[in-house]
Amino acid sequence: MKHILIIDDEEAVCWSLQRALTREGHSVATAASAEQGFVALKKQRPDVLILDVRLPGMDGLTALTRIRQIAPDLPVIVVTAFGDLPTAVRAVEGGAFDYLAKPFDLQQAIECVQRALVRRPSEEAAPEGVEEVAGLEEIVGRSLAMQNVFKRIALVAARDACVLIVGESGTGKELVARAVHRYSARRERPFLPVHVAALNPNLVESELFGHTRGAFTGATQARPGLLALADGGTVFLDELADIPLPVQVKLLRVLEHNEVLPVGGNQPQPLDIRILTATHQDLTRRVADGQFRHDLYFRLNVFQIALPPLRERVEDIEALAEHFLRRFEPRSLPLLPETLHYLQSLPWFGNVRELRNALEHAAIVARGGPLMPGHFPTFTVDPSGRSPSEQLAASVRSWLADRVRASGATSPNNLHAELLHVVEPALLGEIMRRVQGNRWGAAQWLGLNRATVRKKLAQYDLYQSPPTNAEEEEGDG
C-alpha cells in the first residue's frame, strides 16, 4: 500500500480521486491549500503527490518549488483546469512528473499514479530550467485538446529530440515548432523555417545542403545550405512529405552523423542542428507506398505532437476571435453572442488560419461597429478533398465537441439517442422523398422491416398518411 497526498481546493475532485485511489489499495490524504499540504507532507511523506495549480493562497507552481526543496525525489503530478503553454512548461521545468488537464478521466489519473510509483531512478532528475520567453501569445486555447498540446511541447522542448508535428493545414504547426525552439536550450540560436514545397524541385538538395563551386552549371561560387545557416539552432521543415527520395537519404545522414555533405563536395562538414518537421499528409501511407523512406520516418518521428482541427475545439473560438480582433483594430470590436454562435457553428476547413482571415474580412466590412454574421465571407469549399462520408464523420465530431462544451462540468449522457434524433429524421425524410412516400420502398432502402419504418416515421411526425393499397399489396408480396 502506497500513500498518496492530494492538494486541491475542489472537494468533488478530492473525493473522486480519494475514492478511486483507495479502491486501488492506497491510503489517501487531502489538503485544500498549499499551506495545508505542507503540514500533511511533514506529517507523512507521500509516495506520490497530486497538486492543483489554482489554489487559495500560494499557487500550485510556487508550491512545487518548495516541495522540490523539501522532497526532491517525490513524484508530483500537476493538474489544472486553466492550462496554457507557460503553465505546462513551468510545471515540467519545475520537476513535475506529469501534467494532467481537467477534466481528466479517473482511469487516466490512476494510470498516471501507477507510472509515478514504478518510475526508474533515471527519470527522477528534473530537466534543466527553462526561462519563460515572450512572444508565444499567438498559441491561444484553453480547451482540453490544446492543454494536451501544451503539455507535449513542455515535455519535449528541452530534450533536443526530433519532433514531428502533424495536423491539418492552418492548425498552427509552425507556431508549435517556434514554441519548442523558444523553450529549448537552443533558443538563443537561429530558428529557420523551411517550406519544402516552395523550394525549386531541381535545386532542393543544393538549397538544403549547399554546394561547392562548379558543382553544376551556374554554381560560380560555393554556397552554404539552409541547414548550415541554422548551425547551433533549430530547422523547421514544413511539408515534410514533399522531400524527394534522393534528398531523404542525405537528410538521414545529417541526423545520424551530425554532418552535411554539400553538392559536389567530398568532405562532410560538421553540423549541430535540431530538426523539427511538420506535415498535413499521412506519412505512414506514403511510407507504405514507397514514397517516403521508413528509416527516415522513424528517425524524424521520435516524438509526435498532433494538433486538433478547430472544429474539434470550438470552445477556443471566442478567445481566438478576441485575440485576432485586438490585432486588427486598436479599438475594441464587440463580438455579439449571435456572432459567436455563428462562428462556432461553422466547419472551419481552413482551421485557425481561415478564422483569422474571416475575422479580418469582417472587421473591414464592419468599419468599427459590432461584428454581425453577415459581415463574414461565405465558406463552401472543403480544401481537404474529403469524401461525403469523411465530411459526415467530421460533422459528427464537431457536433460531439459542441455537445460536450454545452454540458459544462457535467458529463453528457444519452448521446446515442440525441445523435439519432438529429440524424434519423434527415435520413428518413430524404429516403421517403426519393421513394415518393412508399413505406415499403423505404424499408427496402433502409434494410428495416415496414413496422420499424412506420414506427420511426410516427416518432418523428413524418408522412403520417396511411399506406396505400398498392403499398400494402407490394409489402404482402
The answer to whether the 3-123 and 159-306 domains have the same CATH topology is yes
Q: How far apart are CA 220 and CA 213, in angstroms?
A: 5
In order along its 477 residues, the chain shows pLDDT tens digits of 789 999 999 998 899 999 999 988 899 999 999 999 999 988 889 999 999 998 998 998 899 988 888 888 899 999 887 777 888 888 888 888 888 888 788 888 888 888 888 753 333 333 332 233 333 446 888 888 888 899 899 999 988 999 999 999 899 999 999 999 999 999 999 999 998 888 877 778 888 888 787 767 666 677 888 888 889 999 999 999 888 888 898 899 899 999 888 887 778 889 999 999 999 888 888 898 899 999 999 999 999 999 999 988 999 999 899 888 888 876 667 788 888 988 988 888 889 999 999 999 988 888 777 888 888 887 655 555 566 677 677 778 777 777 776 776 567 778 888 888 888 888 888 888 777 788 888 888 889 988 898 888 888 887 544 444 444 444 443
Domain ranges of the chain: 3-123, 159-306, 311-388, 414-476
CA distances from 435 to 289, 438, 471, 477 (A): 43, 6, 11, 18
Residue ranges in 210-293 assigned as alpha helix (H):
226-229, 245-257, 283-288
What is the spatial distance between Cα 79 and Cα 144, in angstroms, rounded to a whole number? 12
In terms of DSSP H, where are the helices of 158-201? Answer: 173-182
User: What confidence score (pLDDT) does residue 165 get?
Assistant: 96
Q: With respect to CATH, is domain 159-306 assigned 3.40.50.300?
A: yes
d(CA 93, CA 128): 6
Across the chain, how many H-helices and E-strands are there?
Answer: 20, 14
Distances (CA, A) of 177 to 163, 180, 240, 277: 8, 5, 13, 8
Cell of 257: 552523423
* Number of Cβ atoms within 10 Å of the Cβ of 394: 18
CATH 1.10.8.60 fits 311-388, yes or no: yes
Nearest to 323 by CA among 141, 59, 200: 141
Taking the C-alpha atoms of residue 97 and residue 113, their distance in angstroms, rounded to an integer, is 10
Question: For residue 193, what are the β-bridge partners?
Answer: 236
Fold of 414-476: Arc Repressor Mutant, subunit A (1.10.10)
Q: Which of 89, 4, 91 is nearest to 53 (CA)?
A: 91
DSSP state for residue 379 in the 8-state scheme: -
Give the count of alpha carbons within 13 A of 100, CB side only.
22
State CA 427 to chain mean position distance. 32
Q: 163: which strand partners?
A: 276, 303
* pTM, full prediction: 0.65
Q: How far is CA 30 from CA 3, 50, 365, 475, in A?
A: 11, 9, 55, 67
Q: What is the pLDDT of residue 470?
A: 44
Helices (H), 367-449: 388-407, 415-434, 439-446
| Spatial separation of the C-alpha atoms in residues 471 and 179, rounded to whole Å | 66
Quote the cell numbers at residue 391. 465530411
What class, spelled out in words, does domain 3-123 have in CATH? alpha beta
